[in-house]
Chains A and B, each alone.
Chain A
Amino acid sequence: MGQIIQYIESYLGSNQTPGAAGNMFWVLVYIMLVFAGLSVAVIAMNWLERKILAHMQVRLGPMRVGPHGLMQPIADAIKLLLKEDIMPAEADGLIFWVAPFVVVLAAFTTFVVVPFGPTHAITDMNIGILFMLGVSSLSVLGIVMAGWASNSHYPLIGALRSSAQMVSYEVAMGLAVVSAVLMTSLNAEGTGTLSMIGIVKAQFDQGEWFIFKFFPLGLVAFFIFAVAMVAETNRAPFDLAEAESELTAGFHTEYSGFRWSLFFLAEYSAMIAVSSIAVTLWLGGWLRPFPNLLSGSTWELIFSLFPGVTSLFFAAMCFFNVVRMPKHPLFKIQTMGLAGFGVVLGLIGLVLLVPGIRDRVGDIFWFSAKVAGFMYLYIWYRGTFPRYRFDQLMRMGWKVLLPMGLGVLILTAGIALLQEKIWHP
C-alpha cells in the first residue's frame, strides 16, 4: 500500500508529462480527464451550436428543456439512447458495426499528444504532429466503411465524396504544417521538432507566435490550414459528404440511435482535435498573450486571474438572466435552475482564484480559450457560408490551396536560409 502511494506521489514533483515520466497511474488519470473534458465539450458544443445558429438566424433556439434550453443536450442524448437501433437488411453486418468505432477511436486517440500545458499532456512524442495527422486521417476509413456497408445509394455517394475531399485537402494541410514545422528549426542548433510541446516551446523561445512569423507567410500558412481543417472535418461550407439537400444525411443516413451518436461525438471531437493542431502550431498553444513582453510577477498575477474571472463573468451573466426571467409561476423551476447553474459557475470561478490552483490552470485555460475561438468560427462558417459545389471544392483544394501551400513552404525555407546565412552568419 505504501509503495503504491509512493508510486503515485513520485510523479508530483517532476516537470514532465506523465507519459514521459512513465507513471501509469497518472497516465490513466490524464486519459480519463481528457476523455471526460472532451465529452463535456462536445455536449456544450451541441447546445452552443444550436443556440448561436438560432441567434444568427434571429430565432431563439432550444428554450423548453431547462433554462434557455441548457438541458437540451441531455434530453437529446436520452432520446438517442432510447431510439431503435436499425441495421439495413442487406448491410454488411461486421463493417457496419465496426465503422462508428473506427471513427470515434481515430478522433479520440489524437488527444494523446495534445499539449494543454507544458506538463498537461498525456504524453509527448518525438513525432507528435505526425501522429496527430496520421491518426486523424484514419477517420476517413471509418466514413468509407460506414458508407459502403450501409448498402444504400446516398451513404455510398456521401462516402465517395468524403474520401475524395479528405484525401485532397490532406495535401494542402500537410504543406501548411510543414512550413510551420520548418519555423521551429530557427534556433541555435538548427534542428526543428515535430513534438507538440517542442513546437510551442519554439514559439516561446523565438518570442512570437508562428502566425506572425515572416509576416505574411505564417498568416498564409495558417489560412491554408484553417480552410483545409474545415474540409477535413466535413463541416459547412465543405459538408458535401452530408449535404442534406442532396444526400439526406450522407454516409450516416442508415445509422440510428447510439451508432449515430457515435458519429456525432467523433465529428465534434475531430473538430476540437484539428483546432488544437492549429492552436499549437500557429497560435502559441498554452502560452498566454505576451509571455515575453509582459513578464514579471505583476503581469503573472494579472494573467493568472483570467480563468477565475471568466468563470465569475459567466456566473454574473446567469444571475443577470435570472432577473430577466418571466415572473410567471410556470417559470419558477427554470429560474431556480438557472440560479443554481450560476451558483455552480461562481463556485468554480472562486476555486480557480485560489493561489495554488490559479497558477496551475492558466495554461489549460489559455489553450481551451483559443480552441473555443475556433469552435465559434466553425459555427459562424455554418451560419454564414453557402455550401460549395463539388467541382468548386476540388478546384479550391488542388488549384488554389495546394500551389499556395507549396509557395509558402518554398518562401519560408528561403527566408529561413537567408536569415541563417546573411543576417546571422
Chain B
Amino acid sequence: MAPVATPFFFYLLSGIMLIGGILVITRKNPVHSALALIVTLLAQASIYLMLYAPFVAGVQIILYAGGIMVLFLFVIMLVNIDRSMQERQFNSQWVVGLVAATALGGLFIAVFTKGKDIFPEHALPIVESDNTQQIAMRLYGQYMFAFEIASLLLLVAIIGAVVMAKKRI
C-alpha cells in the first residue's frame, strides 16, 4: 500500500493545528475557543494516524474530542457568556509569555538545524497492521507497574472528586 504520510498532509494538518491553537487563545467567546480546541485535537489525531499509530489516534478522538471537550462545553454553556465576554481577559503576562515563547522557539530551531546529530538515523519499522496488539503487549507486559500506578492515581482522583462534590455519600 502506498504511504499516506506525505509532507503535504503534514503541512496541512500542522497548519490546521496552528490556526486552531491561535483561535483558542484569541477568541473572546469561550465556546468558540473550545470548538477551536476540538479542531486542533482532531488534527492532532490525524497526525498520529499519519505516524502509523492508529490506536493512539482512536483514543485521542474518543477521550479528548468526544469525552473531555464535551464536558468542557457542558460547563461553558452554563456560564453567562454575555457577561463574561465583557470582562477584561487576564492575559497581561506578556513578559513571561515572550520569554517562554522565545525559549521554546529557540529549542525548536536548534532541533530543526542540528537534529541530524541528536536523533538516531534509522526509521522505525512500520507496525500499522498490529499496532494495537503491540501497544497492549508493551503496556501490560513491560510497563505494567507504571500503568497500574497511573490507573490508581486516576481512581484516587475520581473518588476525590466524588467526595468533594457530594455532601452526603
Q: A residues engaging B (CB < 8 A)?
A: 20, 22, 92, 95, 125-127, 130-131, 133-135, 137-138, 140-141, 144-145, 147-148, 156, 159-160, 163-164, 166-167, 170, 191-194
Contacts and interface: CB of A to CB of B under 8 A. Distances in A.
Contacts of B32: 95
Contact of A160 (B2, B54, B77, B136): B77
Nearest to A106: B66
Given A95-B35, A145-B35, A167 B62 contact: no
A159 B77 contact: yes
B136 to A, nearest CB: 8
B62 A130 contact: yes
Contact of A164 (B2, B54, B55, B74): B74
Given A22-B1, A138-B66, A194-B132, A163 B61 contact: no
Interface in B51-74: 54-55, 57-59, 61-62, 65-67, 69-71, 73-74
Given A140-B66, A194-B132, A160 B58 contact: no
A140 B61 CA distance: 13
Contacts of B151: none
Contacts of B65: 134, 137-138, 141
B67 A137 contact: yes
Interface residues of B, number: 30
A193 B54 CA distance: 13
Contacts of A144: 70, 73-74, 77
Contacts of A140: 66, 70
Contact of B61 (A138, A145, A148, A156): A138
Chain B interface, >50% SS class: helix
Contacts of A193: 132-133
Contacts of A164: 74
Contacts of B61: 131, 134-135, 137-138
Chain A interface, >50% SS class: helix
B58 A163 contact: no
Given A137-B62, A144-B70, 16 more contacts: A20-B1, A95-B31, A127-B131, A127-B132, A130-B55, A130-B59, A131-B61, A137-B67, A140-B66, A141-B69, A147-B77, A156-B77, A166-B70, A167-B70, A170-B66, A194-B132
A141 B35 CA distance: 9
B83 to A, nearest CB: 15
A36 B76 CA distance: 38
6 contacts: A92-B31, A131-B61, A134-B61, A137-B67, A170-B67, A191-B133
A405 to B, nearest CB: 16
Contacts of B133: 191-193
B62 A133 contact: yes
B62 A134 contact: yes
A251 to B, nearest CB: 11
B35 A126 contact: no
The 9 closest A-B pairs by CB, nearest first: A137-B66, A134-B61, A130-B58, A134-B62, A127-B58, A127-B54, A22-B1, A144-B73, A191-B133
Contacts of B148: none
A295 B2 CA distance: 39
Contact of B128 (A126, A156, A160, A194): A126
A141 B38 contact: yes
A201 to B, nearest CB: 15
A284 B2 CA distance: 32
Contact of B129 (A126, A163, A170): A126
A336 to B, nearest CB: 50
A130 B70 CA distance: 18
Nearest to B133: A191
A341 to B, nearest CB: 42
